[in-house]
Amino acid sequence: MKVLPFKIPKPDFDALVFQEDKDIVFFDKLHQHKEIQVSLIVEGEGTLIVGDTINYYKTGDILVIGSDIPHVFKSDQTSHLKSHMLTLFFTEISFGSHFFNLEELKELKPFFKRSRHGFKVASHKKMISGLFDQLAIASKFQRFMILLELLQLLSKSSYTSLSSFIYDKAFTDIEGNRMRNVFEYTMNNYSDNISLGTISEVANMTKNAFCKYFKKRTNKTYITFLNELRIEHACKLLLTNKDLAIVEIAEMTGFHNISNFNRQFKTVKQMSPTAFKILKAPKVF
């Protein structure tokens, strides 16, 4: 099966697909699909790349990934948590080309606008999670009704976008495999010294050609992407490993110069590592 494009397996006459993923790790190849994806992370944590942006997912997150947005879940295998996700897949024309344009469904339009860049839900999470809990035992008709309730809640919930830039053309198989190899190599080796020469070889391109290719498809340089990935892993370590010194975290995430680590951290997070640790640490009352 080719990773890009990726087809959601479904019966011929099903317009809505419910899928339960339960394993050690989630499917970890860069992929895109026509269907909009609405997911609840029941258990698990790791890195989520959506479009041009690196995010971190955890248990309880509710995520929406729009049609044809390249994305990959990279489960944290050092975590004791298993990977368990509930998902609904559908398209804007699953129920007919004009269904979601009906006047009665006008209040759902914010959902589709937000989904174009993907988003993480920040409110109504308890109600949305409760609806997901009903899906496993629901009939197909009941799942359709639950979907409409979900879309209503997702349309009025507060949220944060998952991506700031979406390449407006679907990847070809060759492009998809190339980007998959680049992302996969980077996620597996971010703590090492990855040069532009090395990653260009992974992409099977010259250095100059690769730099232009990556920038066009992600709206950022490869080095910026690499630094953002490293900083996201550093953030996790800052919050989950209290005994590690900041200089140790810098080394573990590929920064072999503490001044450069502090500078890059402030560029990505608009604050120092120390300030981030104080601000984001769980409050004890």
Q: How confident is the model at residue 167 (pLDDT cuts 50, 70, 90)?
A: low
Token pair, residue 201, equals 């070889």
CB 36 within 8 A of CB 119: no
Token pair, residue 253, equals 């995430």
* Whether residue 285 has pLDDT greater than 80: no
| Neighbouring-strand partners of residue 85 | 21, 41
Q: Residue 17's closest CA among 69, 83, 94?
A: 94
| DSSP secondary structure string for all residues of the chain | --SSS------TT-SSEEEEEEESS---S-B--SSEEEEEEEE--EEEEETTEEEEE-TT-EEEE-TT--EEEEE-TTSS--EEEEEEEE-TTTT-TTGGGSGGGGGGHHHHHHHTT-EEE-SSHHHHHHHHHHHTT--HHHHHHHHHHHHHHHHHS-EEES-S---SSPPPHHHHHHHHHHHHHHHHHTTS---HHHHHHHTTS-HHHHHHHHHHHHSS-HHHHHHHHHHHHHHHHHHH-TTS-HHHHHHHTT---HHHHHHHHHHHHSS-HHHHHHHHSPP--
- Single-letter code of the amino acid located at 149: E
The predicted pLDDT at position 173 comes to 74
Domain architecture of the chain: domains with CATH: 17-161 (2.60.120.280), 190-280 (1.10.10.60)
Token pair, residue 92, equals 């804007």
The sheet carrying 46-50 orders its strands as 53-57, 46-50, 71-75
pLDDT digits (tens, 9 = 90+) for 202-260: 999 999 999 999 998 888 999 999 999 999 999 989 988 888 999 999 999 999 999 99
- Please identify which residue in the block is written with the tokens 């890059």: 264
* Whether residue 2 has pLDDT greater than 50: no
User: Rounded to an integer, what is the distance from CA 200 to the centroid of its chain?
Assistant: 24
Tell me what the pLDDT averaged over the chain comes to: 89
Q: Rounded distance, CA 107 to CA 103, Å?
A: 9
The predicted pLDDT at position 190 comes to 93
* Whether residue 95 has pLDDT greater than 70: yes
Q: Rounded distance, CA 248 to CA 74, Å?
A: 23
Average pLDDT over residues 111-135: 96
Q: How confident is the model at residue 281 (pLDDT cuts 50, 70, 90)?
A: low
Q: Rounded distance, CA 73 to CA 27, Å?
A: 7
The predicted pLDDT at position 170 comes to 65
